[in-house]
Structure 1
Amino acid sequence: MSGPINHARAKISKIFNGEPQSYTRFNLAPNTDGDNSQVEVKLSTEVEEELDVPEAGHRHAGRSPARTQLCTSRNMFYMALGVLLIFVTGYLVGYMTHQKPMPSQGSAEGVECPSLQLADSNDEGVVNVPEPTLDWNDITGMLRSKLSSSAFVQTLSEFSSENHQAGSQGDEVLANKVLGIFSSLRMNPWNDEHYVQLQMPSRNDMNKVFFGSEEVGSPQGYLAYSAPGVKQGRVVYANYGRVEDLKYLQDVGINLNGTVVLLRTGKISLAEKVANAAKFAAVAVLIYPEIPGNYDLNTELYGHVHFGTGDPYTPGFPSFNHTQFPPSKSSGLPEILAQTITAAMACEIHKKMGGKDAPVNFKGKLIDFDSYKLGDSNNIVKVVVKNNEVDTRIHNIFGVIKGFVDPDRYVVIGAQRDSFSWGYAKSTVGTSLLVELAKAITEMIKAGFRPRRSIVFASWSAGDFGSIGSTEWLEGYLASLDRKAFTYISLDGAVSGGDLFKASGSPLLHKLLKETLNEVKILAKKDRFLYQKFDVVNFEAKVLEPMKMEDGAYPFLAFSGIPSISFRFVSDEQASPHYKYFGTPLDTKDRLDIATGQKVGDFCVSAAQVAGQMALRLVHDHLLRLDVTTYTSFLRKHVAKINMNLNQLIKSSVWAPTQLSARWLISAVGSYSRAADDLLNDAQNSDLEDEETCRKINDRIMRVEHNLLSPYVSPRDVPFRHILFGFGNYTLTALEDHLKNLKTPEADTDLLRNQLALTTWTIQSCANDLAGDVWVLDNMV
């Protein structure tokens, strides 16, 4: 019993002797002397008596009966007050020593997070003792009870729409539905409006493709942000348009300069395909959908080819209508033409092509296996693109569930609302997940759940044009978001199959995701669970994937430095037809039903449990469930490769060993490792029920991701500044590649030294901030 009794004593001592939360006439100042001395506070009647005190020898001689009666009454009042205090103290001791122990899973350090409610400002001097919050099992059970397959089926039906392209009337109808639901839930909803430039086909002048003098077709589909104009050249089939595919063509003697490259969908994004072709000096790109042959070969394909996110004509800054900016454009806009064609048009081109046989890995199922050719010099294709930029108003819709302790710290859950066509798996599922999670968690609040931190729900527009809605919001509020938003969870494309579970995200969230998957029963379409339990090995091998630029979570991670994650139920490409309908009118309810074994509603429940449980854990515990130690291993892997490549260069006598070294980079990673370990020790040895202490530790955790954005480049010129997930010379990957490509003493050694220096101090600065106050730092890295 000594442990609970001591804990109770500490609680009572803190209530009565600790620094006060507010000041009243009974408590004028906190005791800062560090001992048990008390500040004497006199009531007004005592002050009056002291102003009229007789001499010492006659203290009671002049006291009147009325005054004697007053003293007696006051003494009786103090006696009653003393008895009351003894009773309250006894009650508190009994309560503290007999309450149910908190479960160990309640937080990272085994202590549940009590809901702290501050006294009303009108009740001076009153301390509200918070009731114990629900334990974690109660919270997860409550979430499960609020989610149902039937509710998802109904919501999916309400938000299913064939026409809800960004900025259209259909998009605004869905935006108003979300806004109405958030209003009915009393989530203090608001609307974030932007005016952006979207690229669309000309209504009067169709895009066209010719093979020789014959027109192949006038596709309805298109690729937003293609360069407009007319180009022609030799057509070359280049598989998926990966760098290795294009290098293969060069190796077999095909010069890609001035060519029109024919590609199929898959493996990499449409924007990457076009960017790769541009690097090899192609003048135009044609892309067709690689869909199962039993579907309509005339299916149109839609997408965008901006190698970036956000409005490409306001790079690095928001597209608010009231702000005037000079003309500018993103460096990710292609300088070559890009156009989609149907599979039927691609068949026609393939059958007319000559030249060398395509290798086995280039051959798909579109035509006869032996008919795939790489093309010869006589196969001339002309591409005509007449797309126009259109100023478009878009709306992002938000709602918030405010926290009870740190309402200004929040996790954001978001989903794309728009689509070029039906977009059932692409956007309807995500929007339905967003709405149902909002309903479930607001019901949990009514039932007694008290989150420490806030949850922001966001419905984005213009996602199909490259995460424009979310990126513009980030650009507009970046200065405050990096200090307040500590996680983003994307719901885009969360259900497109039922065989595998995949996820991409910040290493800070990997541990939380694995723990969540071990608590949630992950459904599979054959009435079984995908995995019984995840360990470190099969979690990394079976679940984790690199985050791609087209991922809805990518701008949050690589542009804003907010720990982000996305996940998805997908089909096994080897076992069954992969869901290949994104960006086409075939992304419908019927086809998603087939891909999930008629269990779309059930998979939505599982997806909502994963997203909801991660969000609730992040807003419930004292300590943020962001594992700062995970980055240590990630950084060490990269630095080990850099050091190995650098040593190979030194041994090859390209440079003398004294001229270049990875010593300081290795030291910076060591600093980060020590800072991460020290933070965990600080958390374990701190009273996390103290609000200020808990907040300081969490602020150190929150800054890690943001501090891995390189401070040495402009977000306008290089928006994705993350040294692990970004693009550019400042990244660890670029440094590794540079070392691999340095073969001669004439190489750019100054650039390499700068890369080493800037990378080193980005990591060291992150370590310094993670370590805490400046007086605990040591400049000897």
Structure 2
Amino acid sequence: MKTLSPPRMSSPPFLFLPSSHSTFYSTLLSFPVHRSLSLFSPSSPPFHFSLTQIPSPSDPSSTSFSLTVPTFHAYAHTGSVRAPLTYAYYGRVEDFDKLGSLGINVTGTVVLARYGKIYRGDIVKNAQDAGALGVLVYSDYEDYAKGEAFPAGPWLPQSGVQVGSVFRAIGDPTTPGWSCTAGEEECERVSIEEIVRRGDMLSVPSLPISGKDGEELHKAIGGQVAPDDWRGREGAPVYRLGPGPGVVNLTYIGNETLRTIQNVFAVIEGREEPDRYVLLGNHRDAWTFGAVDPNSGTAALLELSERLYKLQKKGWKPRRTIILCNWDAEEYGLIGSTEWVEENRELLTSRAVAYLNVDSAVYGPGFYVSATPQLDALLIEASKMVFLITYLHIERLGGGGTDFAAFVQHIGVPSIDMAFGDGYPVYHSIYDDYLWMEKFGDPMFQRHVAAASVWGLVALRLADDEILPFNYISYATELKGNAKSIEEEAAGCPISFSPLYKSIEYLKTAAVNVNAEKQALEEKFWGLSSRKDKSKVRELNDRLMMTERAFTDREGLSGREWYKHLIYGPSKYNDYDSKAYPGIDDAIEEAKKSNTTDAWRFVQHEIYRVARAVKQASLVLNGGLT
């Protein structure tokens, strides 16, 4: 049977910047070969689902529908299963716990779960852990069709399906922690069997399906009525928990094969510090047309490259090197960016000033930013200079959903991810196209311009400011607030957060001192700076840059060793969810389940480990040996 390759936009040439190059990696990608789903219900004839999204005839993109990817889960397990259905709400750990408390056993069933709360790979993993034989994940109308469907409105049509990966790690599955360049004759790889054994690829088949198909399956599920908050929209069939009596036959055959991916870069070399890098990144691969994800970000990146070229034509050259990065294979598991970071780990660790990511530049209204805290003040200042930004929402970079992950969570580079809007209902479906963007995402395309503007302003400050505009007082304040939150969650437990609070105070003192040092040096710039002063500036900038690295630990998070950052990381149970102190949080969750002395001792160990990292950060910021 013929395998179908996801459409990939040709590599953008960064038309306006002459210094560009590409890197190529050999990576394991996943393609659908065969998919089928049939329902057998005692009261109805067999029903065979088409598993096809239906384009609107009035949408110009409908003429290209044949080029789009079939609905599938990348890296899903190849297999066929016939089993009764059970309903598991959003497929979270707590949802399966709720089913257990209600006496519902999902072992030996096919689980029907909704998109909308956690990463799809974690939905399948949770169902697998509960004993399910297969998983169907659908877009419930209550979540994705709350108004008029596209093209009349912005909401997901009945046949809309969210395609995506269920790979539960980051980077090429066969080279965890290292890279393999294309054409490399001898390259160490792990087998698919080992990837499955680690739990990064799953051992039960799964498929994404539409809201319409989800409701059809609900009609075939009997048993207890689902809890009130688990039910669908008004007029939906009664949601029940099962198992059965409806039985489904789910078949998925995939093809995992080595393919070459291509990252594209444009470099503007710095005039004074060419060995210090300010990196801006966006990915270009898309499951379907990708007007929002990622092409709104790619458009902003190309717009920015033109503006930088015009500055160069006027004689400008940045103090530090600016690198524009266009990543491949992000949708599969952040593969392009991760392979590049892993290949260049040591140089980036010693030279990268910051990484600024824009995945999808525009979803809709409102400007949302996730960042490491020392960049908060810079973001606020830059956003005030862009007319369309009236309010700035700043969150943290804990989740693993896009290309900043390798930079901040693996090697500790200060990072930012920014976008207009906070999600959109046609995500990863064929309806994410130009017409949707033109009608609902950004009708005047002003948000695209604004996104490129704030992206560029932040980059120019980081590339041109004599002293890096980092403020670690914000970091210390954030760490203290996070410590209080997690301490409250563990109230009454036999652990102490005192070591962590003490280290945070060290960091706050160091941050105050370094701000005073910055101010003193900046005052000298009004006169002629001596060579000695320039040396001091370089040394101070190195401390500001390297402090973030100190929050990483070579051993990584327990059970998730690739994630080295001890302050910010994804939730163990939801790759999209951001967690402060993820190692402590994971340990507390496990200790609450087992409630053993050893488990609580391990929680205390994690607290000490984070406290040591925070103290190391304060020492780096101070710049002196003890």
TM-score band, normalised by shorter chain: 0.7 to 0.9
- The CA deviation string for residues 724-774 of structure 1, in whole angstroms up to 9 with x for no partner, is 222589972442454464485545244234323322222222222222132
In structure 1, how many angstroms separate the alpha carbons of the residues matched to 2:264 and 2:249? 43
Give the Å deviation of 1:585. Answer: 1.1
The equivalent position to 1:500 in structure 2, one of 362, 366, 373, is: 366
The equivalent residue for 2:276 is 409
Q: Which residue of 2 aligns with 1:637?
A: 481
In the aligned structure 2, how far is the partner of 1:662 from the partner of 1:298? 50
**1:521 is the counterpart of 2:394:** no
CA RMSD of aligned residues (A): 2.8
Against the structure 1 CA distance between its residues 598 and 326, is the aligned structure 2 distance closer, same or farther, given a 3 Å change threshold? closer
Matched position secondary structure for 2:266: strand
> Is contact 1:496-1:569 (8 Å) kept?
yes
How far apart, CA to CA, are the structure 2 residues paired with 1:349 and 1:745?
42
> Equivalent residue for 1:671?
506
- In the alignment of these two chains, the number of paired residues is 567
Distance 2:602 2:27 in 1: 37
Does residue 254 of the first structure (1) align with residue 254 of the second (2)?
no
Which one of 467, 470, 475 corresponds to residue 623 of structure 1?
Answer: 467
Alignment of 1:73-222 (within 5 A): 170-171=8-9, 174-175=10-11, 178-179=12-13, 181-182=14-15, 185-186=17-18, 188-202=19-33, 206-212=34-40, 214=46, 216-217=48-49, 219=51, 220-222=70-72
**Structure 1, residues 411-465: CA drift from partner, whole Å, max 9, x if none?**
1111111112211110221111111101101211222434211211111111111
Q: Residue in 2 aligned with 1:431?
A: 298
AA aligned to 2:377 is K
* Structure 2 counterpart of 1:238: 88
In structure 1, what is the Cα distance between the partners aligned to 2:588 and 2:230?
31
Distance 1:707 1:450 in 2: 31
CA apart distance, 1:319: 2.4
Asked if 2 retains the 8 angstrom alpha-carbon contact of 1:404 and 1:451, the reply is: yes
Return closer, same or farther for 1:501/1:661 CA change in 2, 3 Å cut-off: closer
Does the CA-based 8 Å contact 2:282-2:326 persist in structure 1? yes
* Separation of aligned partners in 1, 2:498 and 2:485: 13
Q: Which residue of 1 aligns with 2:312?
A: 445
| CA-CA distance at 1:546 after TM superposition | 5.7
Residue 348 in structure 1 maps to residue 209 in structure 2: no
Do structure 1's residue 691 and structure 2's residue 534 form an aligned pair? yes
Q: Which amino acid aligns with 1:268?
A: I
Opposite residue 284 of structure 1, the aligned amino acid is G
Larger Rg: 1
SS of residue in 2 equivalent to 1:355:
coil
Q: Which residue of 2 aligns with 1:50?
A: none
* Kept in 1: contact 2:568–2:581 (CA 8 A): no
Q: 1:302 aligns with which of 154, 158, 163?
A: 163
Distance 1:260 1:636 in 2: 44
Identity of aligned residues (%): 26
- Partner Cα separation in structure 2 for residue 724 and residue 707 of structure 1: 10
Question: In structure 1, the residue corresponding to 2:468 is in which secondary structure?
Answer: coil
Query: What secondary structure is seen at the aligned counterpart in 2 of 1:748?
Result: helix
The answer (yes or no) to whether the contact 1:233–1:381 under 8 Å persists in 2 is yes
Greater strand proportion: 2
1:584-629 per-residue CA deviation (whole Å, 9 max, x = no partner) reads 1111011112213622x21111111111111111112111122222
Counterparts of residues 276-675 of structure 1 (less than 5 Å): 276-290=126-140, 291-292=144-145, 294-295=149-150, 296-321=157-182, 322=184, 323-328=186-191, 329=195, 331-365=199-233, 368-497=235-364, 499-522=365-388, 531=390, 539=392, 542-544=393-395, 547-570=398-421, 579-596=424-441, 598-599=443-444, 601-641=445-485, 648-650=492-494, 661-675=496-510
Listed one character per residue, the Cα deviations across residues 480-515 of structure 1 (whole Å, up to 9, x for unaligned) are 112211211112111011x32222121122221122
Range moving further from structure 2, 190-199 or 375-384: 375-384
List gaps (5 residues or longer) in structure 2. 52-69, 151-156, 573-578
Q: Deviations over 1:214-236 (max 9, x none)?
A: 35335331001112212343322
Aligned equivalents of 1:607 and 1:281: distance in 2?
45
Structure 1: how far apart are the matches of 2:257 and 2:32? Answer: 10
Go from structure 1 to structure 2 and tell me whether the alpha carbon gap of 1:647 and 1:319 turns closer, same or farther (over 3 Å shift): same
Contact 1:165 1:418 in 2 (8 A): no
The alignment status of 1:758 with 2:609, answered yes or no, reads yes
Unaligned runs of 5+ in 1: 1-163, 523-529, 572-577, 651-659
Query: Could you tell me how far apart the structure 1 residues matched to 2:558 and 2:321 are?
Result: 28
Change (3 A) 1:709 1:201: same
Work out the CA distance in 1 between the residues paired with 2:202 and 2:286.
22
Look up the equivalent residue of 1:281 and give its one-letter code: G
Amino acid at match of 2:441: T
Query: Is 1:275–1:334's contact at 8 Å kept on the other side of the alignment?
Result: yes
Corresponding residue of 1:706: 549
Distance in structure 2 (CA, Å) of the matches to 1:326 and 1:304: 21
Matches of 2:139 and 2:488, distance apart in 1: 42
In 1, Cα distance between the equivalents of 2:243 and 2:180? Answer: 46
Letter in 2 for 1:208: S
Offset from partner CA, 1:270-308 (integer Å, 9 cap, x none): 223223333433332111234437354333432101122
What is the alpha-carbon distance in structure 1 between the residues aligned to residue 17 and residue 258 of structure 2?
33
- Greater helix fraction, Structure 1 or Structure 2: 1
Decide which of 760, 768, 775 is 2:619's aligned counterpart.
768
What letter matches 2:581 in structure 1? L
Determine which structure has greater relative contact order: mean sequence separation of CA pairs < 8 Å that are 6+ residues apart, divided by chain length. 2
Judge conservation of contact 1:165–1:421 (CA < 8 Å) in 2: no
Identify which of 274, 279, 291 aligns with 2:124: 274
Classify 1:728/1:266 alpha carbon distance in 2 versus 1 (closer, same or farther; 3 Å): closer
| Aligned residues of 2:110 and 2:136 also touching (Cα < 8 A) | yes
* Local SS of the residue matching 1:258: coil
Partner of 2:153: none
Structure 1 residues 190 and 716: CA distance shift in structure 2, 3 A: farther
Structure 1 position 349, deviation (Å):
1.0
Matching residue of 2:599: 748
Q: 1:719 aligns with which of 536, 545, 562?
A: 562
